[in-house]
């Protein structure tokens, strides 16, 4: 038996899909049709998929996107970043181009500051803490050198003479360009208007599709070649902002169909929970959890609050009027608890004084 020829023209495709009841070629309609025909048998469902093939990229562009170009690819790329052989090879070439020798930034227990740092960090964290200090100092010297400023003497305890010299040398490209590094050339090939070191780091990140928010870790790795800086990296960037008279907000990027509950749990653990603890600490308090405000307590006080607001009377008078109301039984009501709740309701519902807007001021003038 020969296989039936797959429809190729637009008219044939539309005719075939219409025969199966599809009137609107949308992602939702397409999947609904596959589900419906799949219940009847796999033959019709497969035929629809073969028929619509020529239109897939136009109608369902996400279908042609390979998983390596999605959030899923970014997550796995970050998890295996230290094992990326092409990246490591190009890092070696870029370091040569900048005049950074292979043995630089090798932080060991012979470093002048090792014992001092060891006393103030958790056990086993000396090397990483000292690497951060060394790299931060190197970057500071480098940025000062870009501006034409001299190296300060207080850096001599942190960096070796070779490391201090390299921080200055990397303000210029010192190595020859090879054919494989043409992607590094800036527009016009002019490095005089940019910081070559930062340019190399950023171009490497762009070339290997790394998110911008890991630049700090990637910079440390580029200088130290210590792969532990790539542990526990996430593809998510979380930015916190707070405008005047508004609650803090967080922007999470990217949001993708590949996100899982584990991803959201990670965002909560790494970003939201620490921020929450910090804001509670600023109030001199701990997270309230279930000890927070009980809406039922406020609901119980609503008749008292409403009576006071509607008749513009005090709390004691509102109590007397409610005691005379046959539809309300106060019984063993905790009056002091009600009083506190009424005060909370007043603050909760009270309008806020608004500043006169600049537009109103201009019109008034």
State the Cα–Cα distance between residues 226 and 116, nearest whole angstrom.
Answer: 21
Q: How many residues does the chain have?
A: 365
Q: What is the mean pLDDT of residues 319-329?
A: 77
Q: What is the mean pLDDT of residues 163-189?
A: 80
The count of other CB atoms within 10 Å of the CB of residue 63 is 11
Lowest mean pLDDT among 3-12, 147-156, 216-225, 311-320: 3-12
**Position with higher pLDDT, 345 vs 60:** 345
**Position with higher pLDDT, 190 vs 102:** 102
Residue percentage of the chain with pLDDT more than 70: 74
State the Cα–Cα distance between residues 268 and 236, nearest whole angstrom.
Answer: 11
Q: What is the mean pLDDT of residues 276-284?
A: 80
Domain ranges of the chain: 10-64, 75-230, 295-349
Lowest mean pLDDT among 48-52, 121-125, 261-265: 48-52
- Residues with Cβ within 8 Å of residue 40, at least 6 apart in sequence: none
Contact in structure between 277 and 287 (CB atoms under 8 Å): yes
Q: What are phi and psi of 52, to 5 degrees?
A: -80, -5
Give the residue among 177, 158, 176, 180 at the shortest CA–CA distance from 167. 158
State the Cα–Cα distance between residues 141 and 146, nearest whole angstrom.
Answer: 9
Residue percentage of the chain with pLDDT more than 90: 15
Q: Residue 63: which pLDDT band, with cuts at 50, 70 and 90?
A: low
State the Cα–Cα distance between residues 10 and 7, nearest whole angstrom.
Answer: 8
Which residue's structure tokens are 């052989």? 85
State the Cα–Cα distance between residues 83 and 71, nearest whole angstrom.
Answer: 19
Which tokens belong to 52? 């619509």
Which residue's structure tokens are 């630049």? 215
What's the sign of the alpha-carbon dihedral 50, 51, 54, 58?
Answer: negative
The listed range with the strongest mean pLDDT (90-94, 272-276, 294-298) is 90-94
pLDDT in tens, 215-250: 988 998 999 888 887 777 888 888 888 776 677 788
Mean pLDDT, the chain, integer = 80
User: Under the phi-then-psi rule, with left for phi > 0, alpha for psi from -120 to 50, and beta for the rest, what region is 331?
Assistant: left
The confidence score (pLDDT) of residue 3 equals: 43
Is the pLDDT at 123 greater than 50? The verdict is: yes
The confidence score (pLDDT) of residue 279 equals: 81
Contact in structure between 180 and 89 (CB atoms under 8 Å): no
The confidence score (pLDDT) of residue 1 equals: 38
String of DSSP letters for 52-64: HGGGHHHH-GGGG
The confidence score (pLDDT) of residue 4 equals: 45
Is the pLDDT at 357 greater than 70? The verdict is: no
The count of other CB atoms within 10 Å of the CB of residue 146 is 18
Is the pLDDT at 311 greater than 80? The verdict is: yes
The confidence score (pLDDT) of residue 204 equals: 95
Is the pLDDT at 290 greater than 60? The verdict is: no
pLDDT in tens, 93-104: 999 888 888 878
What's the sign of the alpha-carbon dihedral 181, 187, 192, 194?
Answer: negative
Which residue's structure tokens are 């109103």? 360
pLDDT in tens, 22-46: 666 666 666 676 676 665 556 666 6
The confidence score (pLDDT) of residue 39 equals: 58
The confidence score (pLDDT) of residue 356 equals: 67
| Alpha helices (runs of H) in the chain, residue ranges in sequence order | 10-19, 27-40, 42-52, 56-59, 71-79, 85-98, 114-118, 126-146, 161-169, 196-207, 215-224, 261-267, 273-282, 295-311, 315-324, 335-349, 358-364
Q: Residue 53: which pLDDT band, with cuts at 50, 70 and 90?
A: low
**Position with higher pLDDT, 90 vs 353:** 90
The listed range with the strongest mean pLDDT (63-67, 83-87, 127-131) is 83-87
Structural element, H or E, at residue 250:
strand 249-253
State the Cα–Cα distance between residues 41 and 44, nearest whole angstrom.
Answer: 6
């Amino acid at each position: 038996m020969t296989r039936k020829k797959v429809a190729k023209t637009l008219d044939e495709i539309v005719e075939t899909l219409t025969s199966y009841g599809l009137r609107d070629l949308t992602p939702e309609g397409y999947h609904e049709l596959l589900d419906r025909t799949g219940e009847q048998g796999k033959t019709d469902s497969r035929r629809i998929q073969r028929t619509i093939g020529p239109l897939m990229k136009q109608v369902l562009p996400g279908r042609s996107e390979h998983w390596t170009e999605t959030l899923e690819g970014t997550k796995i790329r970050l998890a295996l970043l230290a094992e990326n052989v092409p990246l490591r090879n190009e890092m070696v070439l870029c370091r040569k181009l900048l005049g950074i020798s292979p043995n630089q930034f090798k932080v060991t227990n012979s470093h002048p500051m090792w014992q001092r740092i060891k006393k103030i960090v958790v056990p086993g964290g000396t090397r990483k803490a000292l690497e951060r200090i060394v790299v931060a100092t190197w970057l500071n010297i480098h940025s000062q050198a870009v501006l034409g400023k001299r190296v300060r003497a207080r850096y001599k305890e942190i960096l070796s003479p070779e490391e201090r010299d390299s921080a200055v040398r990397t303000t210029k490209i010192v190595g020859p360009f090879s054919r494989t590094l043409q992607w590094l050339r800036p527009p016009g090939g002019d490095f005089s208007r940019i910081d070559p070191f930062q340019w190399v780091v950023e171009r490497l990140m762009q070339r290997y599709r790394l998110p911008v928010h890991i630049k700090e870790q990637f910079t440390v790795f580029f200088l130290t070649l210590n792969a532990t800086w790539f542990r526990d990296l996430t593809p998510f960037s979380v930015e916190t902002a707070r405008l005047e008279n508004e609650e803090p907000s967080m922007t999470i990027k990217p949001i993708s169909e590949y996100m899982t509950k584990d991803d959201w749990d990670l965002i909560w653990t790494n970003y939201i929970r620490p921020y929450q603890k910090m804001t509670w600490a600023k109030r001199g308090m701990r997270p309230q959890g279930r000890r927070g405000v009980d809406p039922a307590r406020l609901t119980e006080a609503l008749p008292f609050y409403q009576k006071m607001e509607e008749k513009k009377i005090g709390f004691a008078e509102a109590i007397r009027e409610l005691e005379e109301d046959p539809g309300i039984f106060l019984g063993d009501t905790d009056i002091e608890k009600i009083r506190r709740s009424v005060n909370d309701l007043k603050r909760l519902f009270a309008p806020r004084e608004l500043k006169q807007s600049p537009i109103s001021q201009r019109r008034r003038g």
